[in-house]
């Protein structure tokens, strides 16, 4: 099987590359990534030593480049992780989100029609469902929950989802879509909550908690996300949407305090800052469908996963230090300086 992984130099795509190389050693894995600020070749250092791994630097919105890659490899399966993925950046500058997340997806879908594939899989997010109120812990997102987005990021992901499903209905393209909750684990870019709090704690910097820190996210260890996608691309029903999540709901302030506890630090650096505009209150996935149809269950509890993650950042400073020394510094000062 030849599997294209777009966005494989990013956080989840990189973990998925390693998941495939380990669990399906006979498959060939072709990574397409344009190496934006969030893409990092250091993440793929080990993969590049594997003869079944190939890397192509290209923008998914560049039709000519994408068609050229499809012609060169004749892939069977496409798994599209490539995206602008950070909500805060989408509030600052929405346009690139529309280009990559919607136009990029449309180019990939057209390439799939032109060259023929057995499966196109769209990696989407629970954010397309909007949010749930804090006082209704009985409510969860199911695949039937209406699309109701809050940010330019989630709107662009919802637009892409609808396009993917339309290519199935109109052109009969064999597609699947997965909508996952918040991931955490190795290779997570430092702008996101968990790596940011770990790295700032290690550097003795303030820990910027938005609003009151009461917002809830449903955390999933990244390897569990990878195993779910792997099951969907091999055994999932064409034309279907699958929610992915493991009932690990935590408030942001709980997560920050847990990181401090694991690193043996007190809470004096916690700083409550201006809230994110349009900030979603609570995400919570109902994973019944993927469990019943594909037998998927997450294997890593939050306590175990967060411990492994903190240990990974302690051991891999040479991965994250060059990131925070570069362009990221400007983003950080501009974003948090205003808060
Ligand atoms: P990320 O920002 O860490 O990585 C994105 C990758 O895509 C980077 O390597 C980047 O270089 C690449 N990329 C961006 N624009 C591109 C373009 N135009 N052409 C080619 N490559 C491009 O993102 P992530 O957190 O790994 O998320 C991956 C996917 O999973 C996204 O589609 C995101 O919406 C989805 N998702 C993420 C989470 C999460 O918690 N991180 C949860 C659910 C779904
Ligand atoms: O739910 C899935 C989504 O999870 C993915 O689709 C997105 O790609 C991914 O980035 C993530 O979105 P969030 O907005 O939930 O993740 P983020 O890490 O940016 O923020 C998590 C929570 O922490 C959120 O409530 C905002 C808060 N936060 C975040 C940062 C960066 C803070 O309080 N302080 C911060 O500095």
CA distance 145 to 284: 12
- The response to whether residue 12 sits with its C-beta less than 6 Å from ligand 2 reads no
Closest CA to ligand 1's atom 29: 81
Residues tagged active-site: 126-127, 153
pLDDT tens for the chain, 339 residues long, are: 999 999 999 999 999 999 999 999 999 999 999 999 999 999 999 999 999 999 999 999 999 999 999 999 999 999 999 999 999 999 999 999 999 999 999 999 999 999 999 999 999 999 999 999 999 999 999 999 999 999 999 999 999 999 999 999 999 999 999 999 999 999 999 999 999 999 999 999 999 999 999 999 999 999 999 999 999 999 999 999 999 999 999 999 999 999 999 999 999 999 999 999 999 999 999 999 999 999 999 999 999 999 999 999 999 999 999 999 989 999 999 999 988
CA angle 309, 54, 324 (to 5 degrees): 40
Please report the pLDDT score of residue 338 as a whole number.
85
- The response to whether residue 210 sits with its C-beta less than 6 Å from ligand 2 reads yes
Ligand nearest to the CA of 38: 1
Beta-ladder partners of 122: 80, 177
- The response to whether residue 183 sits with its C-beta less than 6 Å from ligand 1 reads yes
CA distance 322 to 309: 19
pTM: 0.98
SS3 letters across the chain: CEEEEECCCCHHHHHHHHHHHHHCCCCEEEEEECCCCCCCHHHHCCHHHCCCEEEEECCCCCHHHHHHHHHHHCCCEEEECCCCCCHHHHHHCCHHHHHHHHHHHHHHHHHHHHHCCCEEEEEEEHHHHCCECCCCCCCCECCCCCCCCCCHHHHHHHHHHHHHHHHHHHHCCCEEEEEECCEECCCCCCCCHHHHHHHHHHCCCCEEEECCCCCEEECEEHHHHHHHHHHHHHHCCCCCEEEECCCCEEEHHHHHHHHHHHCCCCCCCEEEECCCCCCCCECCECCHHHHHHHCCCCCCCHHHHHHHHHHHHHHCHHHHHHHHHCCHHHHHHHHHHCC
- The response to whether residue 245 sits with its C-beta less than 6 Å from ligand 1 reads no
Q: Which of 36, 60, 108 has most ligand 1 atoms within 8 Å of CB, for mutation?
A: 36
Closest CA to ligand 2's atom 35: 193
216 C-alpha to ligand 1 centroid (Å): 22
Beta-ladder partners of 216: 251, 282
Q: Which of 10, 35, 323 has most ligand 1 atoms within 8 Å of CB, for mutation?
A: 10
192 C-alpha to ligand 2 centroid (Å): 6
120 C-alpha to ligand 2 centroid (Å): 27
Is the separation of the CB atoms in 29 and 3 below 8 Å? yes
Structure tokens at 106: 């449309």
**C-alpha dihedral sign at 258, 263, 267, 271:** negative
Cα atoms in the 13 Å half-sphere on the side-chain side of 240: 15
- The response to whether residue 84 sits with its C-beta less than 6 Å from ligand 2 reads no
- The response to whether residue 107 sits with its C-beta less than 6 Å from ligand 1 reads no
Q: Which of 210, 250, 324 has most ligand 2 atoms within 8 Å of CB, for mutation?
A: 210
- The response to whether residue 224 sits with its C-beta less than 6 Å from ligand 2 reads no
1 closest CA partner among 29, 33, 21, 31 = 29
Ligand nearest to the CA of 285: 2
Please report the pLDDT score of residue 326 as a whole number.
83
Is the separation of the CB atoms in 78 and 119 below 8 Å? yes
Beta-ladder partners of 272: 209
Please report the pLDDT score of residue 328 as a whole number.
96
Residues in the chain: 339
- The response to whether residue 13 sits with its C-beta less than 6 Å from ligand 1 reads yes
Per the listing, tokens 């290519």 go with 167
Atom of ligand 2 nearest to the CA of 193: 18
83 C-alpha to ligand 1 centroid (Å): 4
């Amino acid at each position: 099987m030849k599997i294209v992984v777009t966005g494989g130099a990013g956080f989840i795509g990189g973990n998925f590359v390693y998941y495939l190389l380990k669990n399906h050693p006979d498959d060939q894995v072709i990574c397409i990534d344009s190496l934006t600020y969030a893409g990092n070749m250091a993440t793929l250092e080990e993969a590049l030593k594997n003869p079944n791994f190939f890397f192509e630097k290209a923008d998914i919105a560049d039709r000519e480049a994408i068609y050229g890659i499809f012609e060169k490899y004749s892939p069977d399966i496409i798994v599209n992780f490539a995206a602008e993925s950070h909500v805060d950046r989408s509030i600052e500058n929405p346009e690139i989100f529309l280009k990559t997340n919607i136009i990029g997806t449309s180019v990939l879908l057209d390439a799939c029609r032109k060259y023929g594939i057995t499966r196109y899989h769209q990696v989407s997010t629970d954010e397309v469902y909007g949010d749930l109120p804090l006082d209704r812990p009985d409510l969860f997102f199911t695949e039937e929950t209406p699309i109701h987005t809050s940010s330019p990021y989630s709107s662009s992901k919802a637009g892409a989802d609808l396009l993917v499903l339309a290519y199935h209905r109109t052109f009969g393209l064999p597609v699947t879509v997965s909508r996952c909750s918040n991931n955490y684990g190795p290779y997570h870019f430092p702008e996101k909550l968990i790596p940011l709090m770990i790295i700032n704690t290690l550097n003795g910097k303030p820990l910027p908690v938005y609003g009151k820190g009461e917002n809830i996210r449903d955390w999933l260890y990244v390897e569990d996300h990878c195993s779910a996608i792997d099951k969907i691309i091999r055994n999932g029903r064409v034309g279907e949407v699958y929610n992915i999540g493991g009932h690990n709901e935590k408030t942001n302030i709980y997560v920050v305090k847990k990181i401090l506890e694991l690193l043996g630090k007190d809470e004096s650096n916690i700083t409550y800052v201006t809230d994110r505009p349009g900030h979603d209150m609570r995400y919570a996935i109902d994973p019944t469908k993927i469990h019943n149809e594909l037998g998927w269950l997450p294997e890593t509890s939050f306590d175990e996963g967060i411990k492994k993650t903190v240990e990974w950042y302690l051991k891999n400073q040479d991965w994250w230090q060059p990131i925070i020394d570069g362009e990221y510094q400007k983003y950080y000062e501009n974003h948090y300086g205003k808060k």
